[in-house]
Structure 1
Amino acid sequence: MLSIPESISIPESISIPLGQPVFVQALRYTALFDQKPFAEALLIYTDNGAYKIMSPGEDHYGSYVSYTDVAANPQHVIFLSWPSEDWDRNVASHTLTFNPDSAAFTQVLVLPGNPVPRSQYGYALPTPDPQSVDMAASWGQVRDTYADIFGQLEILTAAR
């Protein structure tokens, strides 16, 4: 017979190691979800499947699984955000497909309890030396650090 304990202690939080950055992409969206109207973002992939994304209005973490080697320029990645204020203390699922030849990407966003996925797309470029990214920097700091790459993305989107 199975014995069920009278009380189970459930922690209010858990600690998750972030790993070391292995790939960083600057993103420029040309089509956006109306509740997240931030054209630029920085996406940081770590070596243990954790990620961080930053934009003028987002700064959260999550987990990812890539169909290809992330350090060799990812092509199809599934992201699941961890509960954060960015998503009203809930999660969100994002599937991004990158075209390495054109730098274009498509993104499908799924929110809990919402049966209609949201589509977004734009362009992405890798940053040099991903190990040097400052994981504790503010959006303004990373925007300044990668200003040249965001400028390249602006030119790329205007040309298309």
Structure 2
Amino acid sequence: MRNRIKTSLVVLVLALSVGADAADRIADPSTDRLVVHFGKPTYVQLHRYKKMFEKQPFSDAILMYYDNGIYKIISSGEEYYGVFVIDGRFDDERYTIHYASLPSTDWSNATAYHVLTFDSSKKHFEQSAVVPIDGRVPQQFGVFETSENMIANPIFVHWENSKHFMPWSVELK
């Protein structure tokens, strides 16, 4: 039974629908699909890790945020979607974001939970994580840059083409 539930939840369709009607059905039992609409683009962040999880040693990561709590993360070795809740606001001096990834191959087809605390005055973040494979991951940290997200549909943005979309003042690794 557990495998059947896991299998039916693995299929996820992310569809572009800026300003989607809240009455839209998000679950389609006839296809075992969950349709999640992107909200309006809000912010995009570059994270440059100074201390990383050795099993995912990608020093740069880009996160694209949407006003309904959806995010996409890309790096030179990972790409997945998830949901987030922010404690504070992106323009606060300090704020915390809680992330739950959607099932992805990056996390053995399961979810992962991350908490990042940002200090805008120092452009510094700290990260803690719990992942299904390894449990609690040692704390990570780095620096970040935040800009306006101009990408309404992130499905076609991948690490290889990200430099065409991003406004960074630093070279990506």
Instruction: Report the counterpart of residue 150 of structure 2 in structure 1.
Output: 131
Instruction: Report the counterpart of residue 22 of structure 1 in structure 2.
Output: 42
Q: 1:139 to 1:115 in 2, by over 3 A?
A: closer
1:122 matched to 2:142: yes
TM-score by structure 1 length? 0.78
- What is the deviation of 1:83? 0.2
Unaligned runs of 5+ in 2: 1-28
Following superposition, which runs of at least 4 residues in structure 1 exceed 4 angstroms of deviation?
none
The answer as to whether partners of 1:44 and 1:53 remain within 8 angstroms in 2 is: yes
User: What is the root-mean-square deviation in Å for CA atoms of aligned residues?
Assistant: 2.4
User: How far apart in 2 are the matches of 1:117 and 1:69?
Assistant: 26
Q: 1:62 to 1:12 in 2, by over 3 A?
A: same
Instruction: Report the counterpart of residue 142 of structure 1 in structure 2.
Output: 162
Q: Which has the larger radius of gyration?
A: 1
- What is the deviation of 1:111? 1.1
How many percent identity over aligned positions? 29
Give CA deviations for 1:29-80 in whole Å, capped at 9, x if unaligned.
011101111000101110000110000111100000000124x367200000
Q: How does 1:8-157 map to 2 (within 5 A)?
A: 12-70=32-90, 72=91, 75-112=95-132, 114-127=134-147, 129-132=148-151, 135=154, 136-146=156-166, 148-151=168-171
- What is the deviation of 1:149? 2.7
2:170 counterpart SS class:
helix
1:33 counterpart SS class:
coil
Unaligned runs of 5+ in 1: 1-8, 155-160
User: How far apart in 2 are the matches of 1:14 and 1:45?
Assistant: 20
User: How far apart in 2 are the matches of 1:116 and 1:144?
Assistant: 35
2:169 counterpart SS class:
helix
TM-score by structure 2 length? 0.73
Number of corresponding residues: 143
Structure with the higher helix share, 1 or 2:
1
